[in-house]
Amino acid sequence: MIKILSKAKRISADRLVSVTGIKEEPFLLYYHFSKNNQLKMKELKIEVPKGESVESLISLYANAEILEAETAEMFGITFEGNPSSGKRLFREEKKCTGQCFQ
């Protein structure tokens, strides 16, 4: 498991704005934070090798539950400590015929 909680604490932000995934090898996760509703964002970049899980940020930011769950569903990354990681958020309407995320 890739530990990121201590890195996120050092950023000392009061809000997790987004979690963005980029499918490369290794997989890239970008966390974006803000403080006191300032327009300037702080960023945390994490490299996730295939098959690795990532520590959840739920203990610091409650909204991490949905942001991480969405990333987990779209890209297949497991977030340890997130009860929604691995649950289906999106309806399955039809099979992917074009370029899929996973």
Burial of 69 (0-12, 13-18, 19+ CB in 10 A): buried
Residue 88 domain-assigned? no
Residue 54 domain-assigned? yes
Task: Assess whether pLDDT exceeds 90 at residue 9.
Answer: yes
pLDDT band at 102 (very low <50, low <70, confident <90, very high): low
Nearest to 71 by CA among 28, 8, 21, 15: 21
Task: Assess whether pLDDT exceeds 70 at residue 94.
Answer: no
CATH number of the domain residue 46 falls in: 3.30.460.80
Per residue in 10-57, pLDDT (tens digit) is 998 999 999 999 988 899 999 999 998 788 899 999 999 999 999 999
Contact criterion met (CB below 8 Å) for 49 and 71? no
Tally: H helices and E strands in the chain = 2, 5
**Based on the structure, what is the number of domains in the chain?**
1
Residue 94 domain-assigned? no
Q: Which domain holds residue 48?
A: 5-80
Residue 99 domain-assigned? no
If you average pLDDT over residues 76-94, what whole number do you get? Answer: 77
pTM of the entire predicted model = 0.81
Interatomic CA distance for residues 23 and 19, integer angstroms: 13
